[in-house]
Amino acid sequence: MRRVGSGAAGAPAPLDLEGLHVEVALRLASLDQRYTANRRAILEAIAHAGRPVTIPEILERAGGVPQSSAYRNISVLCEARVARRVAGADDHGRFELAEDLSGHHHHHLVCWSCGRVTDIAAFPRLEQALAEAARLAASETGYEVDDHRIDLGGRCPACLGAC
Amino acid sequence: MRRVGSGAAGAPAPLDLEGLHVEVALRLASLDQRYTANRRAILEAIAHAGRPVTIPEILERAGGVPQSSAYRNISVLCEARVARRVAGADDHGRFELAEDLSGHHHHHLVCWSCGRVTDIAAFPRLEQALAEAARLAASETGYEVDDHRIDLGGRCPACLGAC
DNA sequence: CTCAGTGCAAAGGATTTGCATGCCG
DNA sequence: CGGCATGCAAATCCTTTGCACTGAG
């Protein structure tokens, strides 16, 4: 589990767990939701992964949380804008910490062979061009554009090796 | 490589169905696959949609094709690089014609409220910045990057109205 | 005490697969 | 002919839900 693009090994973005929990509790509270042990476990599993994780991965990392609770709580965390659902190569749910909590805007590098997803840092130039494109697209289509996703696709080193 | 159609910017390029079928047959043949009636029906359904469609939508448009055949054939068409799977707001499969067949590189505008996906034209500046980002990401991660996807997210006019 | 959260099990949907048959090459 | 493609049905897999129970406020 490594992050690409920011910080030293192990502790990339200054993830202040304590502050994180406080903020999460706050956001949950605003929806009249509690910050329970299960939710903490799931939140930490996601926060520590450093890349989008699937439900099975969350279950492994959050040990002891039943599947149904994981699904239910992930859903709550997403509603509270604490987590975010992202799509990988396959059509199975992957989740990551909300960007305003993880502290760094990033995009994804997806291996279309094994489905692995790696975070990559955002590029200012890219963001700028994208913002412009979003404005134009919004005015052309009438959509209210408030988010974007950039995924690069390819094959990861492991899959390249297994060629 | 061939390009089908000659459309001006904005309007969907008029699809040359005949040439399209020839090219598709060719790509299938290279995988020792036949271009059967079902596959034609599915291909045309996708080609005419002008935006990523779900399996149910394909079934409607391709009338008479059984679900299992649709799934199996979509899979084959994707392997043959004739179709492409794209992810929408939910985690259900959406498919579109390969870009080198539809003739215009584009991105997607996804409504996270109703799941609708609208094609939007690509922006040169964005593509350029993206290419640069891809190069850098590849060298940092060891991935072989050969594809990208940009999705803008927001709410479509209909959903904005239903607010 | 009350209500949100929990956990189990069963339900639901989408997607995949086994198998006998049909059709193209 | 031989093998790929087909259709149907059954199997799988991921995800959601119903319901009774537990725990925090």
Identify the pLDDT of residue B5.
Answer: 42
Residues in chain A with CB shorter than 8 Å from the CB of B147 are 112, 152-154
pLDDT given for residue B116 in this prediction: 84
- Those nucleotides of strand D lying less than 7 Å from any protein Cβ are 4-10, 14-18, 24-25
163 residues of chain B, pLDDT tens digit each: 444 444 334 444 456 778 889 999 999 999 989 999 999 999 999 999 888 999 999 999 987 899 999 999 999 999 999 999 988 777 788 999 998 888 788 999 988 888 888 899 888 888 999 999 999 999 999 999 988 889 898 988 988 887 6
Cβ pair B32, B87 in contact under 8 A = no
Q: Domain extents for chain B?
A: 1-104, 105-163
List the structure tokens of B78. 């994707």
Nucleotide of closest approach to A40 (CA, C1'): C5
Given an 8 Å threshold on Cβ–Cβ distance, is B153 in contact with A140?
no
E strand segments, chain B? 53-54, 83-87, 93-97, 106-111, 117-121, 144-155
Q: How confident is the model at residue A16, as a pLDDT?
A: 79
Report how far residue B6's alpha carbon sits from residue B13's, in angstroms, rounded to the nearest whole number.
Answer: 6
In angstroms, how far is C18 C1' from B118 CA? Answer: 38
pLDDT by position in tens, chain A (length 163): 344 434 334 344 456 788 889 999 999 999 999 999 999 999 999 999 888 999 999 999 988 899 999 999 999 999 999 999 988 777 788 999 998 898 788 999 988 888 888 999 888 888 999 999 999 999 999 999 988 888 898 988 988 887 6
Q: How many CB atoms lie within 10 A of CB A131?
A: 13
Angle between the N-to-C axes of helices A17-29 and A37-49, in degrees from 0 to 180, rounded to the nearest 10: 130
Assess B147–A contact: CB distance below 8 Å, yes or no. Answer: yes
Which of B114, B152, B163 should one mutate to test binding to chain A, selecting the residue with the greatest count of A CBs within 10 A?
B152
- All residues of chain B having their beta carbon less than 8 Å from the beta carbon of residue A146 are 153-155
Q: Which residues of B touch A138 (CB under 8 A)?
A: 154
Q: Residue B118: name the closest of A90, A150, A138 by CA.
A: A138
Partner residue facing B152 (CB), from A85, A125, A134 = A134
Report the C-alpha gap between B40 and A17 in whole angstroms. 55
| CATH number of the domain located at residue range(s) B105-163 in this protein | 3.30.1490.190
Q: Contact, B133 vs A152, CB < 8 A?
A: yes
3-class DSSP state of A85: strand
Which residues is B92 bridged to in the sheet? none
B119 forms beta bridges with: B108
One-letter amino acid at A116 equals R
- Partner residue opposite B109 with nearest CB, options A120, A137, A160: A137
Q: Residue at minimal CA–C1' distance from C24?
A: B34
In the CATH hierarchy, which top-level class contains the domain A1-104?
mainly alpha
Q: Chain B: give the shortest CA distance to residue A149, in Å.
A: 5
CB distance under 7 Å to strand C: residues:
A 28, 32-34, 36-39, 64-69, 72-73, 76, 91; B 34, 36, 54-56, 67-68, 71-72, 75, 92-93
Q: Measure in Å the smallest separation between the Cα of A157 and chain B Cα atoms.
A: 5
Query: Could you tell me which residues come within 8 angstroms of residue B128 by beta carbon, excluding any fewer than 6 positions away?
Result: A129
